[in-house]
């Protein structure tokens, strides 16, 4: 709609038309980002195909910094539980890459028959907290649906540890 109005104004007021085009371009970029987040938030294909360990390995292999993994999840878990674990790992890894200055991430993903535990630690500068951005707050909300918990320990100077526990039965 903005582009149509800008097109109509092109001859009459080119400066206003240019501003409207730039505004529409920014809006389109923001909407595209939101759409990508929504699509990623639904259920990544790698998770459906390879399960939680395979999906975590895929993220680790493509990480900009080295990731050491300890994966002990025998068999498949309910899809919603796998999704919760995947997104905790993905958010913690993304935060480590973008914000922490970390040179190494260490992650443990275990299922003991009743609880899925995901713990992600980085050797970065610390200072992360739930509420500082929308990512960890969103993860916390997602886990509350399962009566799960999210703990973030991140003193200034590091390290940062993001720890999730979700009860999931046997």
Q: How many angstroms separate the CA atoms of 68 and 52, rounded?
A: 16
**Residue 23: C-alpha distances to residues 2, 4, 11, 20, 37 (Å):** 8, 13, 18, 5, 21
Ranges under pLDDT 70 in the chain: 31-43, 132-134, 169-170
Model confidence pLDDT, tens digit, residues 27-58? 877 766 665 555 445 567 889 899 999 999 99
| pLDDT score recorded for residue 36 | 53
Task: State if pTM tops 0.75.
Answer: no
**All structural domains of the chain with their residue ranges:** 2-40, 51-167
CATH class of 51-167: alpha beta
| pLDDT score recorded for residue 132 | 59
């Amino acid at each position: 709609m903005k582009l149509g109005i800008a097109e109509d104004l092109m001859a009459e007021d080119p400066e206003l038309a240019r501003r409207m085009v730039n505004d529409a371009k920014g809006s389109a970029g923001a909407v595209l980002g939101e759409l990508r987040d929504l699509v990623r938030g639904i259920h990544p294909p790698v998770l459906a195909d390879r399960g939680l360990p395979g999906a975590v390995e895929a993220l680790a292999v493509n990480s900009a910094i080295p990731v050491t993994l300890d994966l002990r999840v025998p068999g498949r878990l309910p899809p919603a539980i796998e999704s919760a674990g995947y997104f905790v790992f993905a958010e913690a890894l993304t935060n480590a890459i973008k914000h922490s200055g970390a040179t190494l991430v260490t992650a443990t993903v275990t299922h003991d028959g009743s609880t899925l535990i995901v713990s992600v630690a980085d050797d970065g500068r610390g200072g992360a907290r739930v509420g500082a951005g929308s990512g960890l707050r969103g993860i916390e909300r997602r886990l509350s649906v399962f009566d799960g918990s999210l703990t973030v320990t991140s003193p200034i100077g590091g390290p940062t540890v993001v720890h999730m526990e979700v009860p999931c039965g046997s």
